[in-house]
Amino acid sequence: MVLIWNDLACGDREAAALLVAINSVFQILAYALLGSFYLQILPGWLGLDSQAVQFSPWEISNAVLIFLGLPLLAGALTRWLGVGFKGIRWYETRVLPRLSP
């Protein structure tokens, strides 16, 4: 969705793709900490019952890795293997047109 909005705004595709990848890595690293804070620590500070929901930071990290990490890894491997085996020219003329919007 970010890349589509970027195209509609006539933005730089490469910069947008890089920012999306950086954002995914940041979310993978920080989401477990934020989830633990909002689900367990903050309710205690506000005097609310924090025992109603029990999640460990590892469970949150697993969910984030599945939904963000696997697609990011698949995209990186697709590019790395495609460029490595067939070359950048083949990858950009054959693979990217099929994967691109």
Question: At a CB cut-off of 8 Å and minimum separation 6, what does 101 contact?
Answer: 3, 4, 7
Task: Determine the structural domain holding residue 13 and report its residue range.
Answer: 2-99
Judge if pTM exceeds 0.85.
Answer: no
pLDDT attached to residue 77: 93
Whose structure tokens read 């047109």?
A: 97
pLDDT at 57: 80
The predicted-structure confidence for 6-28, as pLDDT tens digits, reads as follows 889 999 988 998 898 898 888 88
Q: How many CB atoms lie within 10 A of CB 80?
A: 11
CA 49 to the chain's CA centroid: 31
Domains held by the chain: number: 1
Q: What's the confidence (pLDDT) of residue 52?
A: 65
Q: Round to whole Å and give the CA distance between 37 and 81.
A: 39
Tens-digit pLDDT profile for residues 43-78: 888 888 766 667 778 888 888 889 888 988 998 899
